[in-house]
Copies of this chain bind each other. A is one copy, B any other.
């Protein structure tokens, strides 16, 4: 394992540390499940005090990138966890107009990614996409949630587009919407429809038809957009009695 930790030099030490450590995770030097060095070692290597390092570390923990256990160490969380927690608090009881920006961004990016995936996906990746659909079917018959399978479907497409920047971006956006996607999939008639739409997207990609892939992805995501719009009609001052 090559350690290439360089002393930080930036605006504030803790934000520099935050950026550097974040990049370690984002670009895969630290993979999910890895244990990162102890705080005392890390601070020494970075050339900053433990307090400063901890500000960065805790921030990453609150955001879902890391998990710390006393006496054990600090570990990298799977990317699917990123932002899931804090954004939930931030959005609950939030003006839907602002949320709409995220929903729209997500949709546009995923449409672009679908188009790229149709052009670039390897056979293995196409197979993997198909498997997520099978998974959804089996989960449905077992009466279980298709949430995880749905997530996987979209992430596989994102990575099949072979553009790291965009696929990372879309993963973040997706995590922000985690809560709403989950809610939507709880509705009784939704899973069947979702599977149908996934099939359409899948076939377009398999046929290397970028235009169709984009169109079917757009159609698919418009459903979710509509749903988010419905579920978050207004925020009243206090209780937010959300019917679910």
Contact = CB atoms under 8 A, between A and B. Distances in A.
A51 B51 CA distance: 7
B98 A108 contact: no
A137 interface: no
A162 B176 CA distance: 19
B93 A163 contact: no
A59 B87 CA distance: 13
A148 B194 CA distance: 46
Q: Could you say how many copies of this chain the assembly holds?
A: 2
Given A19-B89, A119-B244, A165 B80 contact: no
Contacts of A92: 19, 22-23, 26
Contact of A90 (B24, B62, B98, B171): B171
Interface string A155-185: 0000000111110110111001000000000
Secondary structure at the A interface, as helix, strand, loop or mixed, is: helix
A140 interface: no
Contacts of A221: none
A61 B60 CA distance: 12
Contacts of A166: 101, 104-105, 108
A36 interface: no
Contacts of A86: 22, 63, 83, 87, 172, 176
